[in-house]
Chain A
Amino acid sequence: MNKNDQEIHLELLNLQKSFAEVNVLNMLNMNIHKGEFIAIVGKSGCGKSTLLRLLSGLEKPSAGEIVMEGKPLAGLNRQACIMFQDGRLLPWKRVLHNVGLGLKGDHQEEAMEVLRHVGLENKSYEWPSRLSGGQKQRVALARALIHKPSLLLLDEPLGALDALTRLEMQSLIEEIWAHRRFTALLVTHDVEEAVALADRVIVLQDGKIAQEIKVSLPRPRGRDRAAFASIVNRILKQIIGAPKPVSGIWNEGPEYASHSVPRIGISSAE
């Protein structure tokens, strides 16, 4: 569905990161195409946030390298913007100036324009403390977008939001991504979110790619469809691991997953 499908944007070559002798990422190899939406899922501590920090240049790899558009990445990644779980807005700047942070010269008009995109033009002169959690993340998104990044890194940006706001934000992110065609990397706990948004879902386990699933469902993706549910279940099965046959109840994978993971219930409330 992407005309630049073949063009490689990012290459991870034998990427390795260890903290105090513990390998968080272990010999990771991956190609990411231009304009692709990748979701990375996995248990906490599987190294998925570390991967984003490496891609943003906030951390250096212990071994291996990241090649972006043919050039190895060194220092902060100027073409990437990262969105954190806690919006990280400056409480002492009004929304408009938070969005314009780091821009030189008069950026008011530009900032207003991006705020309009995320539906917050009427909050431009509020203090961040007056905003709801979802609105704060919209501002953080606008702040990232104003830099026109070719790579948007999303570090569980919707993790702290309530279920309904999260659905709203997911479609906003999808819409903006479809419009602007940047490469997106989303780290998330929420397997449904990953399947709803990503072209490819990567399951990380102990610093390695345990599974890679292409999702080719048409967008926007209806979560009530059987194909959607079956992909979600496949991924969950991988993350949680094959159930041990203690009693006869735990034998079937998909049923096990749908009974034990409450988030699946959200889609029926949609």
Chain B
Amino acid sequence: MRHSISHWILKMLPWGIPFLLLVLWQLFTEAGIVSSKILPAPLDVYFAAVHLMQTGDLPHHVWVSLWRALIGFLIGGSLGFVLGLFNGLFRKAEMLLDTSIQMLRNIPHLALIPLVILWFGIGEEAKVFLVSLGVLFPVYLNTFHGIKSVDRGLIEMGRMYGLKGFALFCHIIFPGALSSILVGVRFSLGIMWITLIVAETISATSGIGYMAMNAREFMQMDVIVLSILLYALLGKLSDVIARFLERRWLKWHPSYERNS
């Protein structure tokens, strides 16, 4: 019994500081030390969330943002993955493409916003394009690097035992590059949310960023804070998913091994 309680406490430990901050925040605003014009009380934010849930605005905006993030991630991520794969596997592709990709990579993709608005207007394409572009490079770099750094000895051994072509890729090259690819995925998930926040804040008619900007017009502090918290939650959620995939696919790796 005592064991399970201490286990439970240990599991809750990462949430200790956020919870403490939340309690302090509520106390400070209730006591009037912090004006509700500067920062609304957590409970007010909660009520705003409940209200927006009832009107259906909140699910709508969250869904729109989530959809943009996912589509952009899928397009940019698969492009980066395929490019990284080709350049990592074939020397000629690397010679042809790598220099150009490295040049493009060094342009901050958010600097393209004015251009993108002129190209696509403020529709969905603009956001999806920006997210794809932001996500592409971390996935590309890490896939490329992962494939380049697969142990040559293992590839040689595989060839010795009759593996070649696709079988060699499946059994040796891809699993060898996987941990590096997943680092790229995790990194790009962060960039995905940042890009989306900026893009939605500047030009949008829906989505979490729009919800925040709209609330600013009407001085709805609680909705603004709610939007920020939503981004934090969604960011955390994608990180949890990425870590779950790492644990699942890299369970052979000593550093992901679970204590059993």
Residue numbers of A with Cβ under 8 A of B are: 56, 58, 76, 78, 81-82, 84, 86, 88, 90-94, 101-102, 127-129, 143, 147
**Binding site secondary structure of chain A:** loop
From A58, A92, A101, A128, contact of B161 by CB (8 A) = A101
Q: A81-B161, A88-B151, A129-B254 are in contact. List 11 more A-B contacts (CB 8 A).
A: A58-B156, A76-B160, A84-B153, A88-B154, A88-B156, A90-B154, A92-B176, A92-B250, A93-B171, A93-B175, A143-B161
Contacts of B154 in A (CB 8 A): 88, 90
Chain B 137-161 interface 0/1 with A at a Cβ cutoff of 8 Å (1 = within) = 0000000000000010110111111
Contact yes or no, B252 A91, CB < 8 A: yes
B window 55-95: CB within 8 A of A? none
Contact yes or no, A88 B157, CB < 8 A: yes
Q: How far is the CA of A147 from the CA of B176 in the complex (A)?
A: 24
Which B-chain residue is minimally distant from A140 (CB atoms)? B157
Contacts of A84 in B (CB 8 A): 153, 157
Contact yes or no, A82 B254, CB < 8 A: no
Contacts of B158 in A (CB 8 A): 101-102
25 contacts between A and B (CB under 8 A): A58-B156, A58-B159, A76-B159, A84-B153, A88-B151, A88-B153, A88-B154, A88-B157, A90-B154, A90-B171, A90-B172, A91-B253, A92-B178, A92-B250, A92-B253, A93-B175, A94-B252, A101-B161, A101-B163, A102-B161, A102-B162, A127-B252, A128-B252, A129-B254, A143-B161
Contacts of A147 in B (CB 8 A): 161
Give the interface size bracket for B toward A: 20 to 34
From B157, B159, B162, B175, contact of A92 by CB (8 A) = B175
**Binding site secondary structure of chain B:** helix
Which A-chain residue is minimally distant from B174 (CB atoms)? A92
Min CB distance A270 to B, Å, is 32
Q: How far is the CA of A143 from the CA of B154 in the complex (A)?
A: 14
Contact yes or no, A90 B163, CB < 8 A: no
Q: How far is the CA of A11 from the CA of B250 in the complex (A)?
A: 46
Which B-chain residue is minimally distant from A57 (CB atoms)? B160
Q: How far is the CA of A94 from the CA of B175 in the complex (A)?
A: 13
The interface centre, meaning the residue of A76, A92, A101, A143 with most chain B CB atoms within 10 A of its CB, is: A92
Which A-chain residue is minimally distant from B162 (CB atoms)? A102
Contact yes or no, A81 B252, CB < 8 A: no
Contacts of B157 in A (CB 8 A): 84, 88
Contacts of A56 in B (CB 8 A): 160
Q: How far is the CA of A76 from the CA of B163 in the complex (A)?
A: 11
Q: How far is the CA of A91 from the CA of B171 in the complex (A)?
A: 11
